[in-house]
Structure 1
Amino acid sequence: MRIAILGATGRVGKRVLHKALRDGHDVTVLVRNPDKLVELRPERLTVLHGDVRRPEDIRRSLQQAELLISCLSTDGGTVLTESMPLIIDGMKETGVPRIITIGTAGILQSREYPGLLRYETPDTRRSSTRAAEEHRKAWELLAASGLAWTVICPTYLPDGEPQGGYRAEKDYLPDGGMSISVGDTAAFTYAEALQQDYVNCRVGLAY
């Protein structure tokens, strides 16, 4: 498979990249700092230097892709809301039908407060909702795009290797879920890219 990955130098993205290369897929990554991937030079990897907020760079990264995996974070600013319209337009222009992105558990539905997202509830522990609002806008753009999309929404995300035994649930955080490792989040993201079990929905992820 020909896979494009955004955010490939991040915690989740780099693990997804390793899995895709291990399995022999042709992978194109768009990164601001190619030096962060200097140890990876297999023949099936194409590293493009660019910025996800530049439409020409997005189109370049999608030219040969069958699938896009975006592990972009909020980056402390508005990178998600700036880049998502460009990503959607680029996918439509280049004919890429499928996108999997990493979101946050804050944009899943609340069990206790029907009609609200988790970050909107009165008992939310978040001191700031800025990141959740960025993820929400990106999700809403995808939901209206007509593309085949999945937003994977891990809860608290400490570094760590895959343990297995995690739970996934459509649109909600699994009951009582408190954490999910970076390793298992990457494993689930990569598996969803291949299996397509959660098309056009958010997926809550936790142990």
Structure 2
Amino acid sequence: MKLFILGATGRVGTRIVADALRGEHEVAALVRQPNKMEVTGRKLTLIQGNATNKDDIRIAMQGADAVFSSLGTDGTTTLSESMYIVIREMKQQGIRRIVSVGTAGILRSRTNPDLYRYQSSESRRRSTFAAEEHRRVYELLLHSDLDWTIVCPTYLPDGDRLGTYRVERDYLPEGGTSISVADTAEFAYRQINSAEYNCSRVGIAY
């Protein structure tokens, strides 16, 4: 399988690249600064470019069987702008599977299921910008005809992979307060070849 990866130099993205290469997959990663890529491999191709440039996306995505995105929000609308282009290009190239890393803020609130968590008292964040960007991505995917999954972690510390965690469709597992980068990446990577959470948001926490 060939994977097209966005956000490959980030904390989760780097681990996804490493997992994919260990699995003998071919990886094409679109990155702004190739020198920041910490993983190497004979099946890894780095394409320097911008995630909001449609030509860069089109070229880097060619031949891919599935797409993975762990782009961050970085205080801009890069995330939602990129996803709009990615969805359009996936349809053009006949690619159906995409796994994206979101945030627990776009899951349903347990106290008020009509609200996103970031809109409810369950969220303690003062700024909602990042959550709103992730919500736009969710809504773009929701209204596409793609086979998508959004993995929605809560607080993401570094740490070793434990391999034991809880996941729940549409909600953050009750009482969950954190999930490591390593375990988030492990779960997200497994979704690339799984239809269990197709067209779903998935909360993940210890």
Is TM more than 0.5 here? yes
Question: What runs of 5+ residues in structure 2 fail to find an aligned partner?
Answer: none
Q: Does 1:25 align with 2:25?
A: yes
Which secondary structure does the structure 1 equivalent of 2:193 belong to? helix
Q: What are the superposed Cα offsets for residues 78-108 of structure 1, whole Å, 9 maximum, x if unpaired?
A: 1112111101111111111110000000000
Q: Aligned equivalents of 2:137 and 2:196: distance in 1?
A: 21
Corresponding position of 1:59: 58
- Structure 1 residues 88-146: Cα deviation after superposition (integer angstroms, max 9, x where no partner): 11111111111000000000001111211100013531111010000001110011011
Aligned to 2:197: 198
Runs of 4+ in 1 over 4 A off after TM superposition: none
Q: Which whole-Å deviations, capped at 9, do the CAs of 1:148-177 have from their partners, x for residues lacking one?
A: 100100011011121121011100000111
Between 80-89 and 101-110, report the one with greater CA deviation.
80-89
Contact 1:4 1:62 (8 Å CA) reproduced: yes
- What is the identity, as a one-letter code, of the residue corresponding to 1:34? P
- Work out the CA distance in 2 between the residues paired with 1:100 and 1:159: 21
Q: Deviations over 1:4-63 (max 9, x none)?
A: 1100000000000000001100110000001112651x2211110000100011111110
Counterpart in 2 of 1:6? 6
Which moved further from structure 2: 192-201 or 2-11? Answer: 192-201
Q: Between the two proteins, what is the percent identity of the paired residues?
A: 52
Partner of 1:156: 155
CA distance in 2, matches of 1:37, 1:111: 39
Question: Could you tell me whether the CA contact under 8 Å between 1:80 and 1:134 is conserved in 2?
Answer: yes
Please say if residues 66 and 97 of structure 2, whose CA atoms lie closer than 8 Å, have aligned partners that are also in contact. yes
Map of 1:186 onto structure 2: 185
The residue type equivalent to 1:177 in the other structure is G
Alpha carbons of structure 1 residues 44 and 116: separation in structure 2 relative to 1, 3 Å: same
Counterpart AA for 1:109: R
Paired residue secondary structure (2:176): coil
2:111 aligned with 1:112: yes
Whether the 8 Å contact between 2:108 and 2:115 is mirrored in structure 1 is: yes
Q: CA RMSD in A?
A: 1.1
Tell me if structure 2 keeps the 8 A contact 1:62–1:96: no
Tell me the TM-score normalized by structure 2: 0.97
TM-score by length of 1: 0.97
In structure 1, runs of 5+ residues without a counterpart are none
CA distance in 1, matches of 2:131, 2:24: 35
Aligned length: 206
